[in-house]
Amino acid sequence: MTATLDDTGLSDRALDIALKVETFVREVVVPYESDPRLGAHGPAGDLVAELREKARAAGVMTPHILGDGDHLTHRETAAVLIRSGLSPLGPVACNTMAPDEGNMYLLGKVASPEQRERFLDPLVSGNARSAFFMTEPADEGGAGSDPSMMQTTCVQDGNHWVINGRKTYITGAEGAKVGIVMAKSDDGACMFLVDLPDPAIRIERVLDTIDSSMPGGHAEVMIDNLRVPADQMLGQSGEGFKYAQIRLAPARLTHCMRWLGSCIRAQEIAVDYANRRHAFGKPLVDHEGVGFMLAENWIDLKQAELMVYWCAEVLDTGALGTVESSMAKVAVSEALMRIADKCVQTMGGQGVTRDTIVEQVFREIRAFRIYDGPTEVHKWSLAKKIKRDWKSVHAL
């Protein structure tokens, strides 16, 4: 692993954290991959608690946020989160998992000191999970890839706001203790911090989806006259879309980091299988059709790594990184899909069983091509940028 990733220029503190995380995931977390508490809607709550207790003991709980509340740089975070992703359970154990990681980042940037103490601190400690309530049912014309279509409303009533609407694909809602709810006021989009569970936020069902790594799964939720104190609004009324962009660009990239780690591990498993398994008189790896797939995976892994670090360096300049994160999301998610597919193909029948994580990684990456913006939406956004840039030159 350490020979695969380019740690050039990484600070001593980040390298130390990254290697501790890798050791923990490989030695402590990987044996849990066949635990019966892993279900269709993610690992059970007691399994999450057990893993996090072990992470605390190993000193790798929320490793990208330092003891004084400071964050590692985005590039340093990449080195750490890639290694946490060496197992689908690694981010759960180390508290680097979506949506908590992105929510912690957002609260660290926007929340007031009082809000950080009440809502952020329990997340950083790993004692609470969170959910981000933005996406809405498509059959009701709600917000999805286009958040401007938001139907959920918020109306001020004295020193409270009253929120009504429906949400869907809300990752981790079941079992979460902290919620960030997006709704639309007369000023525009707003965000609110809420304690969970709340009787006004009703989980109608947890969807059966192709992926299964995130605790709580993905829920459909009804919000019925939810009353939120005004001091629990995150930032200012009407600024919700701006805050979403603060969260979404880095969150796209941290998804890339974690799943790159999983695909590195899937490649390791496929390479080991191809070297041990013999057919037609020689190891599978010596058959050109198999060896070439693994070589192509190696190339894709390196290209994905370079895209992740490039985008991280852009974010480290203080830039919003919207364009760069879109480019990275497309390039990395599509490359990881090719890698996961070839790992399954290399392993044949063994690749479609749950005897290894290769089958799960394939399913998770397929979902990742949609989550945090489908490939096509990002390409469309980039095409609009190309057109704007052309117009700015030719209008002179």
> Is the domain of 87 the same as that of 214?
no
Q: Could you read off the pLDDT of 62-118 as tens digits, one per residue? A: 999 998 888 999 999 999 999 999 999 999 999 999 999 999 999 999 999 999 999
Question: The domain that contains 221 carries what CATH number?
Answer: 2.40.110.10
Q: Which of 236, 265, 296 is the last residue of a domain?
A: 236
Task: Decide: 270 and 298 in contact? Cβ < 8 Å.
Answer: no
248 and 206, same structural domain?
no
Parallel, antiparallel, or unpaired for β 42-43 and 201-207? unpaired
> Domain boundary at 220, 236, 252, which?
236
Residues 201 and 220 in one domain: yes
pTM of the predicted protein model: 0.95
Q: Do 229 and 250 share a domain, yes or no?
A: no
Give the end of a domain, one of 209, 236, 263: 236
How many domains is the chain built from? Answer: 3
* pLDDT tens per residue across span 183-210: 999 999 999 999 999 999 999 999 999 9
139 in the same domain as 43: no
User: Which sign, positive or negative, has the C-alpha torsion 37, 38, 40, 44?
Assistant: positive
Report yes or no on 301 lying in a domain: yes
pLDDT digits (tens, 9 = 90+) for 194-251: 999 999 999 999 999 999 999 999 999 999 999 999 999 999 999 999 999 888 889 9
246, 366: one domain: yes
Domain co-membership, 141 together with 214:
yes
Cβ atoms of 121 and 63 within 8 Å: the answer is: no
What residue numbers bound the domain in which 172 lies?
130-236
Phi (first) and psi of residue 380, to 5 degrees:
-60, -45
Same domain, 36 and 136: no
Same domain, 297 and 312: yes
pLDDT for 303-334, tens place per residue? 999 999 999 999 999 999 999 999 999 999 99
Mark whether 344 and 256 lie in a shared domain: yes
How many CA atoms, within 13 angstroms, populate the side-chain half-sphere of residue 200?
Answer: 15
